[in-house]
Structure 1
Amino acid sequence: MKYLYLILFLYIGLITACNSTDTQFPKEDILSPELMPLQGITSPIRVEVKHPFLILQNWQQRDSIFHIYDLTNYEFKSAFGTEGQGPKEYVLPWLVQTTLPDFLIADNQSFHYFGINKEGQPIFKGAKEVKYINSVNEAVFINDSLFVVDAQYTGPNVYLLTLQEELPKKTWKYRNPDIVDYITDPNMGKVYANESRIVFCYGYKKQIDFMDTEFNLIKRVKFKFDSSPESNLGGENDKISYTYGYLGKRYLYTLFFGTSWKEYRANSTYGNILEVFDLDGNPVARYHLEGRGPVYFAVDEETFTLYGAGEDGDPEDNLLVYKLKGLS
């Protein structure tokens, strides 16, 4: 009988540890921000890293939409991209974050592929049209032609798609089909992918699903979280769990709020926590960010440095930089 009690004690201890945000992360640190200077009037929203270069997308400009910087010295190298309806112009461009060697721009149901030469100039490699009829701006890529899209407002599913086919290869239903408004669903979240994983971070509960590239669950990471009532989700006072994230080749990096958007903005976007997991869902590190929080961000996994823009949407002359200590 004493062995039965011992097993029960160990089981309870294991369950407690799996639900505790105080003991899960083997590394914990407080990070102060640095600033990466930008040239000219910029309104950064998206960033992507293709070491040693950083690509930045401005959201208020109609020309020079994309800037390229050398991360070894923060030198501005080139600018390109004009909004319009003409040849080589973009209608609604969106910088896609991928682990592919090239960087991608989604626009008008097609993906535009670019390399970067040693002088930091963009090299256009061609465009591929998408057969899928809904928006692909939030696509996340597994390889050159296989990608994942969250249907969001058009359905309760995440789709695994190819460039050549309109219908999905696989479907993962993650939320209630009876809830039309995506933002009010308690299972609302963000999806990420790389060559070996599809990851879904939930927005109203502290949960992350790590899956293989066919939606087979590998691990569900779940913590206790005092979430808002499901009856009135979608307002600025709702408690938010995971917000923005980035999936690299090594780790998942995701911001945890633990507060509402209203409180977050009242605090000038300070008080973020960055959580880092390996690709099997094991917690690796937790960082308390002393400065402003980034919105869309990217991580250079050669130097484990995070680059991102602030949340206020005002013109900026710098990017936020956080060096992630202890990662390798």
Structure 2
Amino acid sequence: MQHETIKIPDLLLGSPGGIQKMGDGLLIMDYKSDSMFHYVNLKQKKYVGQFGAKGQGPDEFIHPTSLQPYDDKTVCGYDVMKQEIKMMEWDSLNNRMKSSTVKKWTDAWSFDVIPYGQDQFVGNGCFNDSMFAIFDNQGVPVDRAGEYPYKDENERKISVFNRALAYQGTIRVTPKGRLAFATMCAKMLFLYEIRDRHLVRNKVVIDRYADYKPDYSGGQASYSVVHNGKLPVCYRDLSVTESRIYALYSGRSFKDYGLAEWECGYIYVYDWAGNRLALYQLDLPLLCFCVDEQSGIIYGIANNPEPTLVCFPLPQS
């Protein structure tokens, strides 16, 4: 697939951490900018500005895990350092982003939390040995599901907290309650469905387990893992619809590519039964992406050589 550069004057990116469609434009998360977010108006091909001050204040951000699409105008994000969920909405009348804190969290082992439905939240983390949980409006878990993977009994004996770190990834939930989770350092795709506040497993696609060792240099009570640098990074990002799952895949190892291992040159396409429908090869690897099926466009950020906003036509099928 051939890319096209979207030329936006004044858009300067440092370390992109996510991109999502929001209103008539794109919200781009940037860990190395003065502010946390950039907003680009796609219709006008215009850089609107930076939003989301960084800091400890009530309306500020430290480290959102990812950007989650919520509806056509709203994007949410879980700030793992502040342990709170924020909703971001584009105010087209005043040409600015509005953000509000939806929920303060107390579970330090929540990696990502997403608002879902009426007064519910879905999380990925380490919840009493489970990968996923549904929470009520008070943050109380009402259901848990998903045991962290292990390829044999030796891995099973590793602390669940270290396995949780080894099998981190990206979670997405559709408005109808379909949940997808893809791991970064193992080639695995988990597919669940939310039914009446319960998590029901539909399919787990396992192509490769993680290869890692617990790191106890900080003491036996600390949790950290070291991955095998000879093996490739797998799924870096996800974009989902009610019919399809788009998984951004690297296939590069640290041994061969260094930090460029995180640049992803492939997009796997699955249905919700876990069947692979397509594999797209990109002429320019992406750091993060989002898929706009309605417009038939894949948006992403690529190093070219500086972080650059690009797009690809979504193949018709």
TM-score by length of 2: 0.75
CA distance in 2, matches of 1:260, 1:194: 31
Match of 1:305 among 291, 294, 297: 297
Secondary structure of residue in 1 paired with 2:286: coil
Alignment of 1:324 onto 2:314: yes
What residue identity is the alignment partner of 2:270? Answer: F
Contact 2:134 2:144 in 1 (8 A): no
Shift of 1:95: 5.0
After superposition, what is the alpha-carbon deviation per residue over 1:213-234, rounded to whole angstroms, capped at 9, x for unaligned? 23322234455x6x67677971
AA matched with 2:143? K
Q: Please list the CA deviations of residues 184-218 of structure 1 after superposition, one character each: whole Å capped at 9, or x if unmatched.
A: 75x65443322321123244554423221233222
Q: Secondary structure at the match of 2:6?
A: strand
1:194 maps to what in 2? 174
CA distance in 2, matches of 1:103, 1:270: 24
Aligned pairs for 1:92-103 within 5 A: 92-93=63-64, 95-101=66-72, 102-103=74-75
1:165 lines up with 2:134 in the alignment? no
- Out of 30, 36, 40, the position equivalent to 1:58 is 30
Q: Look up the match of 1:6.
A: none
Q: Distance in 2 between matches of 1:263 and 1:78?
A: 37
1:130-145 correspondence runs (5 A) = 130-134=104-108, 136=110, 138-143=112-117, 145=119
Partner amino acid for 1:142?
Y
Give 1:281's aligned residue. 274
| One-letter amino acid matched to 2:42 | L
Q: 1:215 aligns with which of 199, 212, 215?
A: 199
Shift of 1:144: 5.6
Instruction: Determine the structure 2 residue equivalent to 1:36.
Output: 6
Amino acid at match of 1:33: H
The amino acid across from 2:29 in the alignment is Q
Question: Which residue matches 1:85?
Answer: 56
1:287-327 CA distances to partner (integer Å, 9 max, x unpaired)? 01121x22232222221322222369x863x2132222115
| Structure 2 unaligned spans of 5+ | 151-155, 215-225
- Partner SS state of residue 139, structure 2: coil
Equivalent pairs counted in the alignment come to 289
2:228 pairs, out of 235, 243, 251, with 235
State how far apart, in whole Å, the 1-side matches of 2:4 and 2:281 are. 14
Match for 2:202: what amino acid? I
2:158 to 163, 179, 186: 179
**Are the aligned partners of 1:129 and 1:163 in contact in 2 as well (CA < 8 Å)?**
no
Contact 2:51 / 2:97 at 8 angstroms: preserved in 1?
no
Change in 2 beyond 3 A, CA 1:121/1:157: farther
Verify the 8 A CA contact 2:114 2:122 in the aligned structure 1.
yes
Alpha carbons of structure 1 residues 259 and 121: separation in structure 2 relative to 1, 3 Å: same
Q: Structure 2 vs 1, CA of residues 265 and 255 (structure 1 numbering), >3 Å: closer, same or farther?
A: farther
The unaligned stretches of length 5 or more in structure 1 are 1-30
Identity of aligned residues (%): 17
Deviation (angstroms), 1:151: 1.7
The one-letter code sitting in structure 1 at the alignment partner of 2:269 is V
Whether the 8 Å contact between 1:256 and 1:274 is mirrored in structure 2 is yes
1:257-268 counterparts in 2 under 5 A?
257-265=250-258
Select 1:115's aligned residue among 73, 86, 89. 89
Provide the C-alpha distance between the structure 2 equivalents of 1:40 and 1:189, rounded to a whole number of angstroms: 28
Aligned to 2:125: 151
Alpha-carbon distance change, 120 to 271 in structure 1, aligned in 2, over 3 angstroms: same
| RMSD between aligned residues | 3.4
Question: Matched residues in 2 for 1:94 and 1:207: separation?
Answer: 20
